[in-house]
Amino acid sequence: MVSTGLPRHLFVTGTDTGVGKTTVTEHLIQQLVAQGLKVVGMKPVASGCEWLAGRWQNEDVMRLTAASNVQAPPELVNPYCFQPAIAPHLAAIAAGVDIRLDVIQSAFTELAAMSDVVIVEGAGGLLVPLNATHSIADLVQALQLPALLVVGMRLGCINHALLTAQLLQQRQIPCCGWVANQIDSHMAMQDENLQTLTDWLQQPPLLHLPYQGNPA
Ligand SMILES: Nc1ncnc2c1ncn2[C@@H]1O[C@H](COP(=O)(O)OP(=O)(O)OP(=O)(O)O)[C@@H](O)[C@H]1O
Ligand SMILES: C[C@H](N)[C@H](N)CCCCCC(=O)O
Ligand SMILES: [Mg+2]
């Protein structure tokens, strides 16, 4: 894995759904805001929404928006939002919607124009489909963003992390590093798993979030 240092904008991907992408994105936004930067979080495609205050709202979008200090229109922060918490391309088909990368690109460009940093959170892992032909990886490439890989530390994450790193490399998507997020308080051999990932990804984690999300 090749480390690119700190980029201006960033795409946060992960080893799977539920591994801590939102938690890490929220944390990064808070850190950058504390440094005095104008920061906005973007969740281009969200599935799993509740009807709140007269419209469909997604928890990830609400969390990223609450952490951001640039208050952008919801249609830019989250161009696609679907009610059922299912794979986004299936939710889109059910809603009769075509998820278009150019729509997301335009929204991203507008967000970038109003902020110093845009941090984009994917949906699920890197090869999650968005429509019949494009995946999250294609979106990362369309946005020309470097990736940050969140590894949800649980049994199975080594394989998922290495597959994701390999795909980033194959696609020539720059990767600025990885985050070890301890999502399983009972994970056996935590230190040994961290060391294995460090060896095979050829770099230590940029950040190690212990269980319950307090940054180390
Ligand atoms: N370090 C941690 N310690 C304890 N719980 C965590 C930690 N990180 C994340 N969680 C919990 O795990 C769950 C999944 O986290 P999160 O929503 O950040 O994942 P995600 O990768 O963004 O998922 P999605 O694919 O749905 O966007 C949440 O309930 C969150 O509170
Ligand atoms: C609904 C969930 N929280 C995510 N936003 C979407 C996860 C899609 C995963 C698809 C898959 O890899 O099978
Ligand atoms: Mg999330």
Q: What is the pTM of this model?
A: 0.95
Q: What's the confidence (pLDDT) of residue 22? A: 98
- DSSP state, residue 135: B
- Nearest ligand to the CA of 85 is 2
**Looking at domain 27-203, which of 3.40.50.300, 3.10.310.10, 3.40.1360.10, 3.50.50.60 is its CATH number?**
3.40.50.300
Query: Do the annotations mark residue 61 as ligand-binding?
Result: no
Digit-coded pLDDT (tens) for 22-58? 999 999 999 999 999 999 999 999 999 998 888 889 9
Would the pLDDT of 4 be above 90? no
Please tell me the distance from the alpha carbon of residue 26 to that of residue 68, in angstroms, as a whole number.
8
The reply to whether ligand 1 has any atom less than 6 angstroms from the CB of 41 is no
CB atoms within 10 A of CB 155: 12
The reply to whether ligand 1 has any atom less than 6 angstroms from the CB of 211 is yes
Q: For residue 37, how far is its CA from the centre of ligand 2 (angstroms)?
A: 31
ipTM score for this prediction: 0.98
Q: For residue 190, how far is its CA from the centre of ligand 1 (angstroms)?
A: 18
The partner residues of 150 in beta bridges, in order of sequence, read: 14, 179
Percent of the chain with pLDDT over 70: 95
Q: For residue 201, how far is its CA from the centre of ligand 3 (angstroms)?
A: 23
Digit-coded pLDDT (tens) for 139-182? 999 999 999 999 999 999 999 999 999 999 999 999 999 999 99
- Nearest ligand to the CA of 160 is 2
Please state which of the ranges 2-11, 72-81, 88-97, 105-114 shows the lowest mean pLDDT.
Answer: 2-11
- Rounded to 5 degrees, what are φ and ψ at 7? -85, 175
**Of 151 and 213, more confident:** 151
Looking at every residue in the chain, the average pLDDT score rounds to 95
- Find, among 198, 177, 131, 189, the residue nearest to 24 by Cα: 177
Q: What's the confidence (pLDDT) of residue 216? A: 45
Active site residues: 43
Q: For residue 121, how far is its CA from the centre of ligand 3 (angstroms)?
A: 7
- Nearest ligand to the CA of 14 is 1
Q: Identify whether the C-beta of residue 15 lies closer than 8 Å to the C-beta of residue 125.
A: yes
Would the pLDDT of 6 be above 70? no
Please tell me the distance from the alpha carbon of residue 67 to that of residue 81, in angstroms, as a whole number.
19
Query: Do the annotations mark residue 131 as ligand-binding?
Result: no
Q: What's the confidence (pLDDT) of residue 56? A: 83
The reply to whether ligand 2 has any atom less than 6 angstroms from the CB of 57 is no
The reply to whether ligand 1 has any atom less than 6 angstroms from the CB of 20 is yes
Digit-coded pLDDT (tens) for 119-130? 999 999 999 999
Would the pLDDT of 1 be above 90? no
Q: What's the confidence (pLDDT) of residue 7? A: 66
The reply to whether ligand 2 has any atom less than 6 angstroms from the CB of 125 is yes
Q: How confident is the model at residue 212 (pLDDT cuts 50, 70, 90)?
A: confident
Q: Identify whether the C-beta of residue 164 lies closer than 8 Å to the C-beta of residue 13.
A: yes
Each domain of the chain, given as residue ranges in start order, spans 27-203
Please tell me the distance from the alpha carbon of residue 130 to that of residue 159, in angstroms, as a whole number.
23
Residues 6+ apart with CB under 8 A from 140: 11, 13, 122, 126, 147, 171, 173
Q: At 107, which amino acid appears? A: A
Helix runs in 123-215, H state only: 136-143, 157-170, 190-201
